[in-house]
Chain A
Amino acid sequence: MKKSLGLYETISKSVITLNLRSRKSDGVLKELVSLLEVDPKAKDILLKTLIKREEMGSTGLGKRIAIPHARTLLVKEFHLIIGLSRKGVEFESFDKKPVQLFFLLIAPPLETSSSYLITLGKIAGLAKAIAKDGRLFGVKDKKEFFDILGEIEKKG
């Protein structure tokens, strides 16, 4: 049986930005989507889908973490984009706290490896440990981010 990748391995292949500037939900989604390597028109459509998804109910899990996500025809493979906001973003999380850490997951309609669902479940499962640890919200660089996340995942 193929061994499934840990979150650390998945994340180490992802795009990451530690300085999200927008303070509003639509703006922060736009910033995250802008990091995807897809056709500019595809980015516009994808952004609309993500906004529609947020209208259904916020993907803010509470504890300053959100996992915006969508499946779309516009990508060939699974993408994970991580963003950190130093000041926090109003994201309508159920605990009303601003969100600082974003994990944007985008997957094609049919995704055979199921990375999308596995990663979605893993991040949701780790959110509590990430919040309790607290260090990821103040990291200085990507290496520090990956090191701390690896530690948290091992403990979990």
Chain B
Amino acid sequence: MNKQLEFLIMLHDLDLLLDEINHEKKAGFEIKKHKEELQTAREKVKKGLEVILSNKYERLSKRYGKAIVPVIDGICYGCFVTLPSAFVVRKNKNEEVSTCQNCGRFIYWFED
């Protein structure tokens, strides 16, 4: 898997964690860290990204909520558009950072 794509996924998963802090507390889990400390951890992950990708991640997050989405069976799970088959049938697609040709979100490919 492309290293930059790994950082994008880690950033995405960390953002989900941050989003669910309140739910975690309601469910009875003890959250010791403050949101600021988690933001610091987030910045650390972000530093692993090339500036152009990290800026794009923030821009897409602001616009769509989720900057990176899965593609399953050729369908982008951000905009639910079927992607062109020539784009989908390529091998080792997670070896590079790619974006949906319709909505522009970053893509994580589930390859069967």
Contact = CB atoms under 8 A, between A and B. Distances in A.
Interface in A29-77: 39, 41-42, 45-46, 48-49, 52-53, 55-59, 61, 70-74, 76
Interface residues of A, number: 29
A149 to B, nearest CB: 20
Interface stretch (B49-57, B66-74, B83-91, B96-104): B66-74
A49 B10 CA distance: 7
Interface string B15-36: 0110011011001111111000
A120 B27 contact: yes
A120 B77 CA distance: 25
Given A41-B1, A45-B9, A74-B108, A56 B28 contact: no
Nearest to B41: A52
B38 interface: yes
A56 B16 CA distance: 13
A117 B6 CA distance: 26
A61 B30 CA distance: 9
B13 interface: yes
A108 interface: yes
Nearest to A120: B27
B33 A57 contact: yes
A109 interface: yes
A55 B17 CA distance: 12
A39 B17 CA distance: 22
B33 A41 contact: no
Given A58-B30, A73-B108, A124-B27, A45 B17 contact: no
Interface of A: 39, 41-42, 45-46, 48-49, 52-53, 55-59, 61, 70-74, 76, 94, 108-110, 117, 120-121, 124
26 contacts: A45-B6, A45-B9, A46-B13, A49-B13, A52-B14, A52-B41, A56-B31, A56-B33, A56-B38, A57-B24, A58-B30, A59-B29, A61-B28, A70-B16, A72-B9, A73-B9, A73-B12, A73-B68, A73-B69, A73-B70, A74-B9, A76-B70, A76-B72, A109-B12, A117-B23, A124-B27
